[in-house]
Amino acid sequence: MCRMARPRKPLLSRDRIVTAALALVDAEGLAALSTRRLAAELGVSGPSLYNHFATKEAILDAVADLVVGQVDLSMFSDGRDWRTALLDWGRSYRGALTAHPHIVPFLAVGPGLRPAGLRMADAVFGGMVDAGWPPAQATRIGALMRFFVTGSALGTFAGGFVADAQAYDPADYPHLGQAHLLSRHPERVDNAAFETGLRALVDGLELQYRGLGDALG
């Protein structure tokens, strides 16, 4: 009797499950992810997933950590000043989230025990403390940046307007005569808005930072 050769690699791995789960969330949103659906996408039985992850929540944690792991953190250890580091990190952070917008609501609750999320929190806090910020304020800066970046990645401002010029009657909305044009350039509008806010945020922190020096002097 001819026996089938055993596969050289296991049919499933944590990496394969997480990659498939992220692809499903990217394509159809968080609501589409279930262990049954994910198992079907992988061509396996549902219970086999539990050999690698105890719960669906654990899979989502791993997916979220995969996305956060794409954020560049080198700016906090390569000698860049704190202001440049925050600007560069904020852009990289937003870039990772906007590439996977459907996972953002799950990420918004915080890092929990996710390794990549904790590494990011540690890098930001350490970078700010090393630059001379008091620990309490360094914590607030990390939180502030997370609020701003995740909020900006939750949706599009420009895409919230319709392209119909008749939709914004000047009798009702006298200042929205050009609002119908916004939806034609969502990426440009949203990116410019993010950059404006990011720079304003860091400019405000710069004023506080100078105040630290004045207080010490």
Within 10 A of 100 (CB to CB), how many other CB atoms are there?
A: 20
pTM of the entire structure?
0.87
What ranges do the domains of the chain cover? 71-215
Give the tens place of pLDDT for each residue, 76-98: 999 999 999 999 999 999 999 99
Long-range contact set of residues 45-49: C-beta below 8 Å, sequence gap at least 24: 48/11, 48/12, 49/12, 49/17
Predicted confidence (pLDDT) per residue in 14-39, tens digit: 999 999 999 999 999 999 999 999 99
pLDDT in tens, 40-79: 999 998 889 999 999 999 999 999 999 999 999 999 999 9
Q: State the average pLDDT for the chain.
A: 91
Residue 215 pLDDT? 58
Give the distance, in angstroms, between the CA of residue 144 and the centroid of all CA atoms in the same chain: 14
C-alpha dist (Å) from residue 178 to 151, 164, 167: 25, 10, 11
Give the CATH H-level superfamily of domain 71-215: Tetracycline Repressor, domain 2 (1.10.357.10)
